[in-house]
Amino acid sequence: MPESPLSIAQHFHERTKYHPETIASKSQQLDWETQPTPYKEYKIGKTFDLRPYLREVSEPLSDDSKIKEAQRLSHLLLHSYGLTAKMETMQGFHYLRSAPSAGGLYPAEVYIISRGTPFLPPGLYNYQPVTHSLLQFWDSQVWQELQTACFWHPALENTHLAIAITAVFYRSAWRYQDRAYRRIFLDTGHLLGNIELASTLNDYRPHLIGGFADEALNQMMYLDSKREGAITVIAIADLLEIDQNLPPTKTALPSATQTDYPELDDSELLGYLHHATKLDSDTSGSQGWTQASIDEDIEDKYNFPFCTKVSTITPAIDWGKNGQGLAQTILKRRSTRSYSGGDLKLEELLALLDFTYQSNHYINQGFDGSPDYFDLGLIETFIAVSGVNGLEEGCYYYAPLAQELRQIRFKNFRPELHYLCLGQELGRDAGVVLFHTADLKKAVAKYGDRAYRYLHMDAGHLGQRFNLAAIYLRLGVSGIGGFFDDQVNEVLGIPTDEAVIYITTLGRPR
């Protein structure tokens, strides 16, 4: 039986893989003169300064409703995408943010859409991280346009604030060419992880909306869609208002699946894929947005016969009163640059897996027990163990429902991991390397080519939860978006139909 043709998302994934034989030819000398700025500037607009409203989590909120809202919003944005450090470079100063970004390029822009609140009049706002302020560049009511663009998603019925995340594509493409598309959505996933957790600290509940009319939203926000595009919307429910305590709702809609596409040069792949994954109409069918949560589809995919199984049930991480430990960790988070090669403790690895995947274990600490993802049932997790006391070396499949690790290969993979991670010592010296994978064929069959967006955002979201828990436990952690794709499956014994989406390394910091 002949193979069905690859969709454009599958074709893009194949074309943007790194191969040992060709990676040198794909590398290019960076032109520092053309490096894009990671901030957006507006010539006109009204500034709402958020700095006077910064506070510690332990500090009480104001009784004044306007000031209280400003305090919560200021805290949310700082801990989602705010500046956390300033570094001097040969090109000037480089600012680090609370969410990690590949190469420190920060392709995402954060916009606030207000229906009208005590602090924010109706209109469109761009978050300006350098000044920690909101710039209102449109002061008219646009909420109905937002609802129309999001096909009347129920999370927008009673809420009064929404976040729109966009991507300025060249910021990442300048360095990573077409493969930047992967990194843009992984970076957005990191940001979604921060928004989810920072919302918990401020009595908000974010509702993800991945299905929307792209061009309608771009036009509503006055974006140049050749340079910048909306990639997700988040309705921000205020949990202090009873009518905004909303049930979880479906988050993703399918796009078309395109199998008839022209011959594309390397520089054309990113733009063509993004255009192919756009929506212009509601594809939810008769069931609409109220369809049952996709979390019901989650299952442990692999149960290898006769494999060693290790329970991952463990006590929950204690984040301190009012989540103070989490707030502090978000602001001091840094990607680790080198590991000592020392072993990790099994309890440490289990604690990280518990926080990343078992959200329901943290309800009594005030966390959301079922935060929004696009479709976690499509994401699988494999873990290469090189140095964990109490755990045999090898490659394991993590089964989140059964809460166990299932061993699939018996070997120390340190030399291979060094090679797979493009010679980065982080792969060699880490005690654990975690791989997020997905069956692209299955994902595209369910969501069309737009699945490629959802997969990378969900992987980045999981990676950020893992990242923050590691920093809190004083471990080193760093995500890796560059690797030899096919060789990962071959070396570790991961089934060939699992496309590697993201890698996270974990170890003792040097």
Task: Please give the Cα distance from 233 to 341 (Å, whole number).
Answer: 41
Q: Residue 29: is its pLDDT beyond 90? A: no
Task: Please give the Cα distance from 497 to 474 (Å, whole number).
Answer: 35
Which of the four pLDDT bands, split at 50, 70 and 90, describes residue 290?
low
Task: Please give the Cα distance from 168 to 109 (Å, whole number).
Answer: 7
Answer for the pair 171, 105: CB distance below 8 angstroms, yes or no.
Answer: yes
State whether 74 and 174 are in the same domain: yes
Q: What CATH number is attached to the domain comprising 139?
A: 3.40.109.10
Mean pLDDT of 345-360: 98
The whole-number pLDDT of residue 59 equals 87
Which of the four pLDDT bands, split at 50, 70 and 90, describes residue 1?
very low
Answer for the pair 253, 282: CB distance below 8 angstroms, yes or no.
Answer: yes
The whole-number pLDDT of residue 25 equals 67
State whether 262 and 408 are in the same domain: no
The whole-number pLDDT of residue 285 equals 61
Which residue has tokens 């520089």? 267
Q: Residue 63: is its pLDDT beyond 60? A: yes
State whether 211 and 324 are in the same domain: no
Task: Please give the Cα distance from 417 to 163 (Å, whole number).
Answer: 38
**For residue 26, is it within any domain?**
no
State whether 63 and 140 are in the same domain: yes
Q: Using the 8-state DSSP alphabet, how is residue 2 labeled?
A: P
Q: Residue 287: is its pLDDT beyond 70? A: no
Instruction: Output the furthest CA–CA distance in the chain (Å, rounded).
Output: 69
**For residue 448, is it within any domain?**
yes
Which of the four pLDDT bands, split at 50, 70 and 90, describes residue 350?
very high
DSSP 234-272: EEEEETTSGGG-PPP-----------------GGGHHHH
**For residue 5, is it within any domain?**
no
State whether 72 and 206 are in the same domain: yes
Mean pLDDT of 153-159: 97
The whole-number pLDDT of residue 336 equals 94
User: Of 228, 251, 280, which marks where a domain is finished?
Assistant: 280
The whole-number pLDDT of residue 174 equals 96
Q: Which of 95-104, 295-304, 362-371, 380-389 has the lowest mean pLDDT?
A: 295-304
Q: For residue 33, give every residue at least 6 positions away whose Cβ sits within 8 Å of its Cβ, in sequence order, or none.
A: none
Render pLDDT for 395-425 as a digit per residue (tens, 0 to 9). Answer: 999 999 999 999 999 999 999 999 999 999 9
Closest CA to 238 of 346, 120, 125, 349: 120
- How many domains does one find in the chain? 2
Mean pLDDT of 39-51: 95
Q: Among residues of the chain, what percentage have pLDDT more than 70?
A: 96
**For residue 200, is it within any domain?**
yes
Render pLDDT for 295-327 as a digit per residue (tens, 0 to 9). Answer: 455 678 898 888 899 999 999 999 999 999 999
Length in residues, the chain? 510
Q: How does the average pLDDT of the chain come out, rounded? A: 94
State whether 212 and 327 are in the same domain: no
User: Of 256, 280, 304, which marks where a domain is finished?
Assistant: 280
User: Of 246, 280, 314, which marks where a domain is finished?
Assistant: 280
Which of the four pLDDT bands, split at 50, 70 and 90, describes residue 286?
very low
Q: How are beta strands 344-345 and 388-389 bridged, if at all?
A: parallel
Sign of CA dihedral 168, 174, 175, 178: positive
**For residue 1, is it within any domain?**
no
The whole-number pLDDT of residue 468 equals 98
Closest CA to 232 of 456, 437, 13: 456
Sign of CA dihedral 13, 19, 25, 28: positive
**For residue 63, is it within any domain?**
yes
Render pLDDT for 172-216 as a digit per residue (tens, 0 to 9). Answer: 999 999 999 999 999 999 999 999 999 999 999 999 999 999 999
Q: Which of 297-311, 381-395, 429-443 has the lowest mean pLDDT?
A: 297-311
State whether 244 and 336 are in the same domain: no
Residue 484 structural domain: 295-507
**For residue 234, is it within any domain?**
yes
State whether 246 and 302 are in the same domain: no
State whether 159 and 205 are in the same domain: yes
The whole-number pLDDT of residue 294 equals 46
Closest CA to 75 of 337, 321, 322, 338: 322
Which of the four pLDDT bands, split at 50, 70 and 90, describes residue 22?
confident
The whole-number pLDDT of residue 245 equals 94
**For residue 124, is it within any domain?**
yes
State whether 248 and 319 are in the same domain: no
State whether 457 and 363 are in the same domain: yes
State whether 397 and 455 are in the same domain: yes
Sign of CA dihedral 9, 222, 461, 211: negative
